[in-house]
Structure 1
Amino acid sequence: MILTVEHVTTYRYDLPVRGVVQSHRLTPSSYEGQSVLAWDISVSDSLAGGGFRDGAGDWVQGCSVPGPVSQIEVRVSGTVETRDLAGVLRGYRETVPPMAYLRDTLVTRCDVALVELGRDAARAGRDPLDRAHRLATAVAAAIIYDPSTTDAHTTAAEALALGSGVCQDHTHALLAIARNEGIPARYVSGYLHADAEGVPHEAAHAWAELHVEGLGWVGFDAANNCCPDERYIRLGSGLDAREAAPIRGTARGGGQEHLDVTVAVQQAQQ
């Protein structure tokens, strides 16, 4: 499948800030599951900083916007050819050992309810892959999709207690129970063309990758209860949503920041 992406992030400030520094994980890597045909990132009135490929295989690019500035636009556009590998991350270059992804973060720490959810699901598994699938299915059943109940700072334990959340919450919960069962797991940010029912997806997306013995890294989208296929574009990864965020940064100055994001992922004519 050939997918086109238009992703615009606009920052507005009540009062002009003295400057902004950002770090971007906005460039998808090429591997057996996806090939980047064209990709462009522009930041209004910015100065390019250093860029590097980190140990997880993700390209990280820095930039700065000198002030005074009251609005910044980050625009991403590109075309990617994708292939369905049943969620297996094949041919991806990285140097970080899988065991590094057994670490908890503030938002992925287990409470008693998460421990029990993961333990019950894992015990029913016949082999490592089946256990991973059962963990993802357990999260999908325990947390229904509802964008009105959680926010960017909601923890996995809080989302499970609420019984609802968004893809970030599904992913954090799956990371929590997988790591508690001794399975390395990481957060993945990217794009989704359409959900399991074929409904177009109008926002950036997130899912988990679990390291399965004999297969390596395998993706699990608990929000849609499936493995990533040709509808997905992988951007970057980390221990949680904050580490894997496509855009991280800081603004120097007072005033409140307002964020507006639009994402359009479409299938191009083959």
Structure 2
Amino acid sequence: MRCEIRHVTEYRYPKAAWDSFNQVRLHPTQEARQSVRSFHLHVVPQAEVTSHKDYFGAIVHHVHVHEQHTQLRIEAQAMVDTHALPDPVPTPVAALRGARGPLTEFLVPCPRVPAGAWPEVFGVTRPEDRDDLGEYLQNLNSFLYSQFTYDTGATEVDTPLAEFAQHGRGVCQDFTHAMLGVTRQLGIPSRYVSGYLYSGGEMRGAEATHAWVECFVPDYGWLGLDPTNNCVAREKHIKIGHGREYSDVSPVRGTYYGGGRGSMSVAVYVYGES
């Protein structure tokens, strides 16, 4: 599937700001499930732009505006081809025992996915060693989808997982952190994925960057699962990058001098064709 993406972030300040510095993670990743045809970053006013790859391999752009300004516009444009991948072959949960060592960073607690008895909190049944891991993960994905309510006004970007667990209402970021809490406590290496979703009006979370989970399956690799939409991440999911939690892959964040209390708006447009 060919997808075109426009992601526009605008900052407005009541007074002049200067030395605005932003980290921008909007460049889709290049991997087996997708090919990046093009990527362009447009910044107004004129900015100094550099880039590097972060610890997890994502391309990060650094946008530095030296001059005074009351508005900053960062627009990313990308064209990506996504590819269908086969589902994993039956693999027992017990196969994870020899695969966890190198993936410890996707098992240990982190600030937004702290330690806790999350399987019990969310009423999840623990798997048996003989259970098929891929099937169990897809069933877990469906179960969590059924337990939570998608509500864009229920949480903020820094809402703790424990608060989401109490109310069960939130957005894709919350659904994803909840699934990470469960799978990591079950000993399944799992990572947070940031990206885009081509929904055609059918799926939730396409109005901005989207989030889902990748769980490790031995002899297969990373299986993408979207608990917000009760589906496997396939051609309609365009990946930007992954990390332990949202903070590792936040799309745009930065600092500036002056300006007063600014405001930010974000618009995301994803067009696709088979």
Same structural fold, with TM-score higher than 0.5 when normalized by the shorter chain: yes
Classify the TM-score, shorter chain: 0.7 to 0.9
Q: Does 1:137 align with 2:142?
A: yes
1:42 alignment partner AA: H
Query: CA separation of 1:189/1:200 partners in 2, compared to 1, >3 Å: closer, same or farther?
Result: closer
Amino acid at match of 1:34: Q
Residue 99 of structure 2 is matched in structure 1 by none
Shift of residue 127, structure 1, vs aligned partner: 2.4
User: Structure 1 residue 61: deviation in Å?
Assistant: 1.8
Q: For 2:79 and 2:21, how far apart are their aligned partners in 1?
A: 27
User: Which is further off, 44-53 or 216-225?
Assistant: 44-53
Distance 1:87 1:229, change over 3 A: farther
Check 1:162–1:250 CA distance in 2 against 1; reply closer, same or farther (3 A cut): same
Which TM-score applies when normalising by structure 2? 0.86
Instruction: Report the count of equivalent residues.
Output: 261
CA distance in 2, matches of 1:87, 1:79: 25
User: Is the CA contact (8 Å cut-off) linking 1:9 and 1:75 kept in structure 2?
Assistant: yes
Runs of 4+ in 1 over 6 A off after TM superposition: none
Q: Which runs of 5+ in 1 are unaligned?
A: 89-96
Instruction: Give distance in 1, aligned partners of 2:76 and 2:136.
Output: 37
Aligned twin of 2:9? 9
1:148, CA displacement in angstroms?
A: 1.5
Q: Which runs of 5+ in 2 are unaligned?
A: 89-101
What are the within-5 Å matches in structure 2 for residues 20-99 of structure 1? 20-85=20-85, 97-99=102-104
Structure 1 vs Structure 2: percent identity of aligned residues? Answer: 32
How far residue 196 of structure 1 moved from its aligned partner, in angstroms, is: 8.6
CA distance in 2, matches of 1:86, 1:195: 23
How big is the alpha-carbon RMSD for the aligned residues of Structure 1 and Structure 2? 2.5
C-alpha deviation, 1:49, in angstroms = 4.3
Q: What secondary structure sits across from 2:271 in the alignment?
A: strand
Residue by residue over 1:46-80, the C-alpha shift from the partner in whole angstroms, topping out at 9 and shown as x without a partner, is: 43344222342211221211142221101011211
Aligned residue number for residue 232 of structure 1? 237
- Alpha-carbon distance change, 60 to 198 in structure 1, aligned in 2, over 3 angstroms: closer
- In the TM superposition, 1:52-201 aligns within 5 A as 52-85=52-85, 97-112=102-117, 114-117=118-121, 120-123=124-127, 126-194=131-199, 197=202, 201=206
**Counterpart of 1:107 in 2: which secondary structure?**
coil
- The 2-side partners of 1:115 and 1:151 are apart by 23
